[in-house]
Structure 1
Amino acid sequence: MRQVVMGTRGAVATSQPLATFAGIQMLLAGGNAIDAAIATAIALTVVEPTSNGIGSDAFALVWDGKLHGLNASGRSPRHIPVETLLNAPRMPDLGWKTVTVPGAVSAWRSLSERWGKLPFEKLFEPAIEYAEAGFPVSPETARAWQRAEQIFTPLSGAEYQPFQAVFFPNGRAPRAGEIWSSPNHAKTLRSIAQSQGESFYRGELADAITQFAEQTGGWIDRTDLATHQADWVTPISTNYRGVDVWEIPPNTHGIATLMALNILEGFDLTQFPRDSVESFHLQIEAMKLAFADVDRHVSDPASMIVSAADLLDKTYAAQRRQLICDTALPETSSGLPKGGTVYLAAADQNCMVSFIQSNYAGFGSGILIPGTGIALQNRASGFSTQAGHPNQVAPSKRSYHTIIPGFLSVNDQPIGALGVMGGFMQPQGHLQMVVNLIDYGMNPQTALNAPRWRWFAKNQVLLEQTVRSDIAIALTDRNHQIQLTAEPSAFGRGQMILKSGKVLIAGSEPRADGCAIAF
């Protein structure tokens, strides 16, 4: 089991050691935490393509004396076939119907322009080297790649052929330890670096994206790309036992963590051991109630009827708390009126960054732009096909988004950055990390090491096999439908950097290949 690392000058924590090293290189070159975070994010598009890519979305929380939020999620195409999709039972998972405008490149540029010390082009150097020279595929990434074989290799449409050729050469995924490279990925990164991202949204890369869409039945066009922008947003928060917990506001579901914490605040978790049926039960039930509201109301904020302030109202949380009893709630619904991911943290003495980017479900849409290495996300699959729902699929709209960076502070002073990647596990992971830190006094690494639970639907709960058997049995007695699994990817993959005085304390997820480095 990994141990916490400490330093005073800088720290980087990611799910891939090569990406962590890319960030450390920037710090050693005289850059700051922003430079380190961007270089790490760019490197991750190469060394962990199973979770993110150049065609990803991204969000960030940055502390420079105050907390800033960046929403770099893209919108659906102007000409997305809404009427056809609204007649479907659900959004598709693959293909052009799932593609939204990628926002990660705009996040890199926006962060660098506002805070970066190093030249933008320098931040791309490690990733370009990995893409050109190749790198050994790490074990957990190889496992994810192999799981994707059965999804992507059988696809027969012309739109999927470039993707298959790049990621599944010879019809299979690379194995752990095999060298994988992507020269076209390197070429594209050079173009983005030299043009400050302009080539992606208004230049040669934008042309390549729209031309392939026209040839293979996609709807994204030059206007969709040219009008994209990353937005600075005001982070949302709740105070949990004296600690301010921060998230990006909707269209993300980070608000679910804050709502669940508001509900939990009325229970004294410290009277129960961290690994106990009582503690697990209360956390699961609070999370279920929060997700019921989030599922009904969270969308592009322009489409939301119920506000974030309404969802975070502590009087409302107290009402929801009364629903929790000794047994699992069989059904949960909103109590208000109707209305594949990589995470990294970086820090120095002046700045802390909580950053996340993702193609959504694993590799994303299965669409790769020929000759570029740009694998496009499938974020449109996060829309609802229910007419009248706030998250109903529509043109030029941001979908419900699962990726969420987190941050903690006390009395306007930073405690640090945290995140747990993994779709709908993310708010649940954030909740468990906050409870581990605040209620049970764990350090970043022990908080990440601890056994986890994951709620799915109704009473269905997945437990890590490291959870004690007596807890699993007791939860079953409380009407939770329990399933145990040894699959680490089911419980998310987290990173954390906290600050105590001048000391940076970093931890990295034991369920992934990554590491934390502090110096």
Structure 2
Amino acid sequence: MNRILAAIGLASLALPVAAQEQAGKEALPPVDQQIGAGGRPVGASWSRSPVIAQHGMAATEQPLATQVALDILKAGGTAVDAAIAANAAMGLMHPTGNGIGGDLFAIIYDPATQQLYGINGSGRSPKGQTLDQLKAKLGDADALPSVGALPVTIPGTIDAWFTMHGRFGKLPMDRLLAPTVTYARDGFPVSPVVAAYLAGNLRAFERMSDQFDFTNARATWFADGEAPKAGEIFKNPDLARTLQSIGASGRDAFYDGELTDRMVDYLRAQGSAFTRADFAAHRSEWVEPACAAYRKGFELCELPPNGQGFAALQMVNILKNVDLAQWERGSPEAMHFMVEAKRLAYEDVARFYADPDFASFPLDLLSESYGKARFALIDRTRANPEFGPGEPKLEGPGDTTYLTVVDGTGMMVSLIQSNYRGMGSGLTAPGTGFMFQDRGELYSLDPAHPNAYAPAKRPFQTIIPAFVKKDGEPYMTLGLMGGGMQPQGHVQVLVNIVDYGMNLQEAGDAARFNHDGGRQPTEPLEGPTADPLGTLYVEAGIPAETVEALRALGHKVVVDPTGVQFGGYEAIARDPETGVLTGATEMRKDGQAAGY
């Protein structure tokens, strides 16, 4: 197994050494080309140990946020309390992935009731704006932009916090937000990956700055004309004041108060149709997770549309028809079946996944018989040049942060939160310290599409938390960030654990693929799709012979050594007998799993 994926190690995060002119010699190559990883006494040579603790654990993309969560647990807070506190910190410390201007989804296991609960904290479009009115604002454009007021939907995160807290919280909300208020007011050191992402977002926003008002966002994050660097102390006093107001006055401070008027006035000045009544009417929704059995007693659980989580369940139902373990994990055979399963599932995502208040979801998509029928479409000898969506019986769906917390009682929280593409729309209302999401970019403009824009409608969502059961019992929280990477990432991690016996950390460190392309949920229902085969991006740890074999099967393969597009992973497993917790976090990010 050590030869499989052996090149992962440092490739995604290493920085080139400074050029050294030595008697006509060329500059030294990057460090990861000069020397490889060291050895390990146990486990895969390309991974590190998972974290093991007993009384509580948190895993986030930022070590400071992980410590905030642990402090809340030690102060008597529940896993939900700690997750809210960590999410608030992440909005400050990782603004390129999330913030209170975005949406939130979570799966919560409550040991008191022994049930899984799902929360859909996604926001809607303006109630008073029709599709025709939106199209008039767009002019000749055939899709919504990624910046400006038009792709903004109601931020759902704050209401989701209070909804979860009302059922499962213990400590007061101002106590949960206090650590982030302090960090925002006094400052914190920026972590390396976030610094790189901030610089990338600044470049992107500057290229599009003639399309939207960048003034307030620039003053908040890029006041000196450049992005904060790794190790630089960053402060956001506006966000500190916003969170203090929310902690003191509750969710209405955001949705039905002075802050609401400030947000609405600003958005309307930018061309939005939102009103204060739109914000006041927003509510999160409790939803029921669905699960699909894989093998060896493992079940993957996901939330229903308007998110894309059920795509992972469809992949599971397809892949259970073949024993992947008969091949090595880095083999072309295993890769080919997983990629084709992804492509089949995502054809249905583009056709059927939408706000269930506006379009019935075909539950037959989740049946084992449907999965078997879709599996039959996979050709072992070649990549199908163009799949189409299935024909189920109609009965009845960027950048992100994922975090997870488990407390000593066994409450488990799997939470994901995002502003969608990059930092979001580029718009920041004066004095608020956060950016509005651009989630509305994912509406279709085809009136016949289930995901078509409509008043007071939630767009298709990419962000999905996951949960894993084993032998019918709660076992593991799981999340993997990054747009369309998420369902295929969930399945790859599950396959690594179930079929290949990897531990939690190895399952995340192992090289991944990200298939991009195929029909999109924003495209018209009729007519050809722009990129039916798509592109298969793989990390450098995939063996070179596998890459060539996949190309021979007809896949368009690109090797990407950066790690950026392959998501960010966290997971915590709980032993149902001992209560011992095992956690893992993402090597491609700045994060930390820690417990006590």
Q: Which residue of structure 1 lines up, in the alignment, with residue 528 of structure 2?
A: none
Deviation, structure 1 residue 130: 1.2
Q: Which residue of structure 1 lines up, in the alignment, with residue 121 of structure 2?
A: 72
Q: What is the distance in 2 between the residues matched to 1:59 and 1:101?
A: 14
Write out per-residue CA displacement over residues 123-173 of structure 1, whole angstroms, 9 at most, x where no aligned residue.
Answer: 001111111111111110011111112221241366321112112212211
Q: What is the distance in 1 between the residues matched to 2:48 and 2:225?
A: 35
Q: What is the distance in 2 between the residues matched to 1:149 and 1:338?
A: 46
Q: Which residue of structure 2 lines up, in the alignment, with residue 513 of structure 1?
A: 590
Contact 2:476–2:572 (CA under 8 A) maintained in structure 1: yes
2:322 alignment partner, SS class: coil
Contact 2:147–2:211 (CA under 8 A) maintained in structure 1: no
Q: Which residue of structure 1 lines up, in the alignment, with residue 83 of structure 2?
A: 37
Q: Which residue of structure 2 lines up, in the alignment, with residue 11 of structure 1?
A: 57
Q: Which residue of structure 2 lines up, in the alignment, with residue 332 of structure 1?
A: 387
Q: What is the distance in 1 between the residues matched to 2:591 and 2:456?
A: 36
Q: Which residue of structure 2 lines up, in the alignment, with residue 443 of structure 1?
A: 503
Write out per-residue CA displacement over residues 372-407 of structure 1, whole angstroms, 9 at most, x where no aligned residue.
Answer: 112100110011112200000111001100000000
Contact 1:352–1:417 (CA under 8 A) maintained in structure 2: yes
Contact 1:328–1:459 (CA under 8 A) maintained in structure 2: no
Write out per-residue CA displacement over residues 269-325 of structure 1, whole angstroms, 9 at most, x where no aligned residue.
Answer: 111111111111110000000000111110001222442x22102111111111111
Q: Which residue of structure 2 lines up, in the alignment, with residue 321 of structure 1?
A: 375
Larger Rg: 2
1:283 alignment partner, SS class: helix
Deviates more, 1:408-417 or 1:474-483: 408-417
Matched, 1:302 2:364: no
Matched, 1:212 2:266: yes
Contact 2:99–2:434 (CA under 8 A) maintained in structure 1: yes
1:171 alignment partner, SS class: coil
2:119 alignment partner, SS class: strand
Q: Which residue of structure 1 lines up, in the alignment, with residue 3 of structure 2?
A: none
Q: What is the distance in 1 between the residues matched to 2:276 and 2:445?
A: 26
Deviation, structure 1 residue 330: 0.9
The match for 1:49 among 92, 95, 107 is 95
Matched, 1:484 2:556: no
2:420 alignment partner, SS class: coil
Counterpart residue type for residue 536 of structure 2: V
Contact 1:166–1:182 (CA under 8 A) maintained in structure 2: yes
1:159 alignment partner, SS class: coil
Distance of aligned partners of 1:85 and 1:179 in 2 relative to their CA distance in 1, 3 Å threshold: same
1:302 alignment partner, SS class: coil
Deviates more, 1:288-297 or 1:72-81: 72-81
The match for 2:230 among 176, 189, 205 is 176
TM-score scaled to structure 1, two decimals? Answer: 0.97
Deviates more, 1:333-342 or 1:245-254: 333-342
Contact 1:296–1:338 (CA under 8 A) maintained in structure 2: no
Q: Which residue of structure 1 lines up, in the alignment, with residue 22 of structure 2?
A: none
Distance of aligned partners of 1:338 and 1:376 in 2 relative to their CA distance in 1, 3 Å threshold: farther
Deviation, structure 1 residue 411: 4.0
Q: What is the distance in 2 between the residues matched to 1:112 and 1:73?
A: 17
**Superposition CA RMSD, Å:** 1.4
Q: What is the distance in 1 between the residues matched to 2:277 and 2:361?
A: 31
Q: Which residue of structure 1 lines up, in the alignment, with residue 473 of structure 2?
A: 413
Write out per-residue CA displacement over residues 245-267 of structure 1, whole angstroms, 9 at most, x where no aligned residue.
Answer: 11110000011100011000000
Counterpart residue type for residue 384 of structure 1: S
Deviation, structure 1 residue 69: 0.4
The match for 1:383 among 438, 443, 462 is 443
Q: What is the distance in 1 between the residues matched to 2:255 and 2:534?
A: 44
Q: Which residue of structure 1 lines up, in the alignment, with residue 190 of structure 2?
A: 137
TM-score scaled to structure 2, two decimals? Answer: 0.85
Distance of aligned partners of 1:146 and 1:81 in 2 relative to their CA distance in 1, 3 Å threshold: farther
Q: Which residue of structure 1 lines up, in the alignment, with residue 163 of structure 2?
A: 110
Aligned residues: 518
The match for 1:232 among 281, 286, 297 is 286
Q: What is the distance in 1 between the residues matched to 2:484 and 2:467?
A: 18
Contact 1:276–1:471 (CA under 8 A) maintained in structure 2: yes
1:359 alignment partner, SS class: strand
Q: Which residue of structure 2 lines up, in the alignment, with residue 197 of structure 1?
A: 251
The match for 1:345 among 404, 416, 438 is 404
The match for 1:358 among 408, 418, 433 is 418
Contact 2:150–2:271 (CA under 8 A) maintained in structure 1: no
Deviation, structure 1 residue 337: 6.0
Write out per-residue CA displacement over residues 5-52 of structure 1, whole angstroms, 9 at most, x where no aligned residue.
Answer: 011100000111111111011011111211111100010010000111
**Map of 1:245-284 to 2, 5 A cutoff?**
245-284=300-339
Deviates more, 1:56-65 or 1:169-178: 169-178
1:513 alignment partner, SS class: coil
Write out per-residue CA displacement over residues 167-200 of structure 1, whole angstroms, 9 at most, x where no aligned residue.
Answer: 2212211111111110000000001111122100
Q: What is the distance in 2 between the residues matched to 1:338 and 1:438?
A: 31
Matched, 1:88 2:130: no
Write out per-residue CA displacement over residues 385-443 of structure 1, whole angstroms, 9 at most, x where no aligned residue.
Answer: 12200000111001100000000113441101000010111111111111111111211
Where does the alignment leave 5 or more consecutive residues of structure 1 unmatched? Answer: none
Where has structure 1 moved over 4 Å in runs of 4 or more?
Answer: 84-87
Contact 1:85–1:385 (CA under 8 A) maintained in structure 2: no
Q: What is the distance in 1 between the residues matched to 2:492 and 2:212?
A: 43
Q: Which residue of structure 2 lines up, in the alignment, with residue 402 of structure 1?
A: 462
1:67 alignment partner, SS class: strand
2:299 alignment partner, SS class: strand
Matched, 1:498 2:544: no
Counterpart residue type for residue 261 of structure 1: V
Write out per-residue CA displacement over residues 54-94 of structure 1, whole angstroms, 9 at most, x where no aligned residue.
Answer: 11100010001210000000011113452154563222111
